[in-house]
Amino acid sequence: MKYSLPNSQNLSNTRIESDRLILVPISLDHGDVIFQEFTAEITTYMYPTPPKTPRDTEEFIESSQKKIEAGSDLVMAILNKKTQEFLGCVGLHKLDRDTKDPELGIWVKKIAHGNAYGREAVTAVKKWADENTNYEYIHYPVSKLNIPSRKIVESLGGKVVRELTKENQRGTILDEVEYLIYRPER
């Protein structure tokens, strides 16, 4: 695992590499593919809805970039290391030097499902967090029905701490479990 670490709290120069992936801060260069791939099917078990227009995607990216620069969120594009193909996004949210409980989220485009890219990306971000933040535990909320995502968090030692229901932006009630992933002992 290779990391390119930021010089300050601004995380916009952060780069994380794993065996098959490169994670880089999200940029407007990813806008078209995010607009095409962040679909109703992908968001079935998620809080957000797909963007209605390319401008919606641009606004999301611009908002994410501000949070990356402020050091409060790390929103990364997942790229295939060999081909540079965009595969999805992974984020560590509510992240600053004093945060004890950031939240982790991921999505991978449909055509890339079944290749364990999500697991590899989440594992890489968690390892980065282990080495570069002072978190106590990471929140990972997920629909009870999203078995692949649940397997990802369980592979990292995540433990269910509560069940909850939440209405997403479409008005659908999500039946979720919240996992906590605890920091390894140093």
The domains found in the chain, sorted by start residue, are 2-134 (3.40.630.30)
| DSSP-derived 3-state class of residue 36 | helix
Read off the tokens for 20: 């098959």
Closest by CA position to 64, among listed 84, 38, 83, 39 = 38
Its pTM stands at 0.91
Residue 30, pLDDT above cutoff 90: yes
Residue linked to tokens 């968690």: 126
Decide: helix, strand or coil at residue 99. Answer: coil
pLDDT for residue 98? 64
CB 106 within 8 A of CB 21: no
> Which band of pLDDT confidence, cut at 50, 70 and 90, is reported for residue 74?
very high
pLDDT score recorded for residue 104: 95
